[in-house]
Amino acid sequence: MDALQCIRSRRSGRSYEDRPIPKDTINELLRLGTKAATGSGMQPWGFVVLEGRERIEALSTEIKAWLRPRLAELPWLAQYEEWLRKDSYNIFYNAPALVAVYGDPASHWHVYDASLCAANIMLAAHAQGLGTCWIGFAESFMNRSDIKSRYHVPEDFRLISVLTLGFARGHLPEAERRTPRVFYRG
């Protein structure tokens, strides 16, 4: 698949085959992530990789339990309350792997850099038949001090993106988007 076709056809995958991803594949995805542009060349990113469906499902259960009483403080998630209250809803869609991308605020550009890194991982995964989905539901939880400590993330790093990763099941049509709003063209 060429780069243009890869960008054109990437979708958020929410259904995965029940098989693990080889460790070398995940390592290569992280390396490709770090090829992203990076402000002042600072490369202010770091990763947490979790593998194993059951373990990741248990994390989903933990996150939902933490989110439910806090939805009033997280108004951008309020519209998803019904999903988050469902025991059967796995926020990670039974993915066999997760990659969390953290940014180092020592760089002014860390949010942009780590987001570009996550986007590279999504596209590189798609190019080889792997599905990803950015899981905003996991943002606040994975940024908690005790959770960063659980996964050996330095306290000052900030969670930017949590991505599910798995061999994609099924095929989604190309995304439809609004026509780009061009505010000025001189």
Q: Report the interface residues with ligand FMN, using CB under 6 A.
A: 11-12, 14, 133-137, 175
Cβ closest to ligand FMN, residue 76 vs residue 184:
76
Q: Which is nearer to ligand FMN, 76 or 183 (CB)?
A: 76
Closest approach, Cβ 98 to ligand FMN, in A, equals 12
Nearer to ligand FMN, 78 or 175 (CB): 175
CA distances from 108 to 100, 104, 112, 162, 177 (A): 20, 9, 9, 21, 31
Name the residue whose CB lies closest to ligand FMN.
136
Contact between 22 and 28 under an 8 Å Cβ cutoff? The reply is no
**Which segments within the chain are labelled E, that is strand?**
45-51, 97-103, 130-134, 158-167
Burial class (CB in 10 A: 0-12, 13-18, 19+), 105: exposed
CB-nearer residue toward ligand FMN: 41 or 84: 84
Smallest distance, ligand FMN to C-beta of residue 27, A: 24
Minimum CB distance to ligand FMN, residue 28 (Å): 22
Q: Least Å distance between CB 13 and ligand FMN?
A: 8
- With the C-alpha atoms ordered 87, 88, 93, 98, is the resulting torsion angle positive or negative? positive
